[in-house]
Amino acid sequence: MAKVRVLNAQNISHLLDMPAVINAVQDAYQEKSAKTGEIWPMVYHAFSDMADMDIRSGALQPKRIFGNKLLAWFGNNAQQNLPELNGLVTLYSSETGEPVGIINAPALTGYRTGAAGAVASRALANPHSDTLLMVGAGGQALYQIMAQLCVLPEITTVEIYDPMNQKNAESFAREAESRLTELFSQNIQENEPSIAVKIEKRLSTVKFVTVSDLAAAVKDAQVIITATPSTKPLIKAEWVQAGTHINAIGADMAGKQELDTAIFAHAAAYVDDLEQATTVGETKNPIKTGFLKKADVHEIGAVLTKQAPGRQNDKQITVFDSTGIALQDLEAANLALQRASNHHVGTTIEL
């Protein structure tokens, strides 16, 4: 019988640190570009307007693993004091086909999605950016902000805007420093002590402020992250200033949209997976309306491996459309399992 290590959310919170996951996700993109990482077609099903699930799967040849993630979202669960997201990541040996790990998917997803935005910002954003705008104050916002602070050393102000509930943005801004410290600093300290010192110092000096005027905030920010369930554009083209970098995180399924399609008429567009992003992601609509040509869209992995151009100058607007790919989950899960084995963390079961 196969012995399988099971990692719950608490295990993940102790095993992973954001700098390491950023590097793991970067490896995933590079492996996809080098074709040593393979993703398979996504399965998606909507149970209703407030419930859906998707399955993403793939293989990593260098790690000798394959696997999948099933993530289910039930939006009304909060009314029953239940988590909105549930699911599992399962890893298998590509040499024997035996299962090797079962991991809590929502806990892993927070880290890898935040890391994806950081990989893009490290490659595409102006490294001297000092103002970050976070659009959306939900569960993903903390992961996105911490990841950006890990790769953009000159950020001094983080602006928070929530299109659904302004009070969420206000409470988020008040609690951001303490929540970021509690959620991430201990892990970074255990695994990357030199980085932890810098991060903790920055958390005490970065200003977290609520903004109510989205247009003014967009004009003020050099890096913008959108992580909302919006189905209509939130950010208009005329607000976006030269040199801005945008990470579009929320539009990962058909029907979702956060950006004005006209933004792409003057921006360089990058994606995690070309076919997936241009089918269900933020880049789908500008291609459909003619503001963007599919041939002009580059995968971030190609930029990282020098097969495609990145930012060309300080005035260029860049957009990264992140729809999420299985290789991110597999890399992060594999990292967690390796550390769990080294530290004897988790529960081992026989199937």
Domain definitions of the chain by residue range: 3-108+326-350, 125-321
Could you tell me which residues come within 8 angstroms of residue 119 by beta carbon, excluding any fewer than 6 positions away?
22, 25, 26, 29, 151, 300, 304
Give the architecture (CATH level 2) of 3-108+326-350: 2-Layer Sandwich (3.30)
Position 189 scores a pLDDT of 67
Strands 267-271 and 317-321 come out as: parallel
Dump strand ranges (E) for the chain.
3-7, 37-48, 51-60, 65-74, 85-93, 99-104, 131-135, 157-161, 207-210, 223-226, 231-235, 245-248, 257-259, 267-271, 298-299, 317-321, 347-350
Closest CA to 141 of 228, 214, 200, 211: 228
- Cα end-to-end span (Å), the chain: 6
Within the chain, how many helices (H) and strands (E) appear?
A: 12, 17
Residue 97 φ/ψ region, left for φ over 0, alpha for ψ in the -120 to 50 degree band, beta for the rest:
left
Q: Quick check: pTM over 0.85?
A: yes
Classify domain 125-321 at the CATH class level. alpha beta
Local structure of 17: helix, strand or coil: coil
Per-residue pLDDT of the chain (351 residues; tens, 9 = 90+): 788 999 999 999 889 989 999 999 999 999 999 999 999 998 989 899 889 999 999 999 999 999 999 999 998 998 899 998 999 999 999 999 999 999 999 999 999 999 999 999 999 999 999 999 999 998 899 999 999 999 999 999 999 999 988 899 999 999 999 899 887 766 666 677 777 777 778 888 999 999 999 999 999 999 999 999 888 999 999 999 999 999 999 988 778 899 999 999 999 999 999 999 999 999 999 999 999 999 999 999 999 999 999 999 999 999 999 999 999 999 999 999 999 999 899 999 998
Number of neighbouring beta carbons within 10 Å of residue 190: 14
Residue 93 is predicted with a pLDDT of 97
Give the β-pairing of 85-93 and 99-104: antiparallel
193-199 — which CB contacts under 8 Å span 24+ positions? 195/19, 195/150, 198/153, 199/146, 199/149, 199/150
Specify burial of residue 212 (Cβ count, 10 A radius: 0-12, 13-18, 19+): exposed
Residue 200: the pLDDT is: 79
Query: Cα separation of 111 and 188, whole Å?
Result: 13
Task: List the structure tokens of 109.
Answer: 């997803």
User: How far apart (Å, rounded) are the C-alpha atoms in residues 25 and 123?
Assistant: 13
Residue 170: enclosing H or E segment and its boundaries?
A: helix 166-180
CA-wise closest residue to 75 among 112, 111, 44, 48: 48
How long, in residues, is the chain? 351
Q: How far apart are CA 144 and CA 45, in angstroms?
A: 26
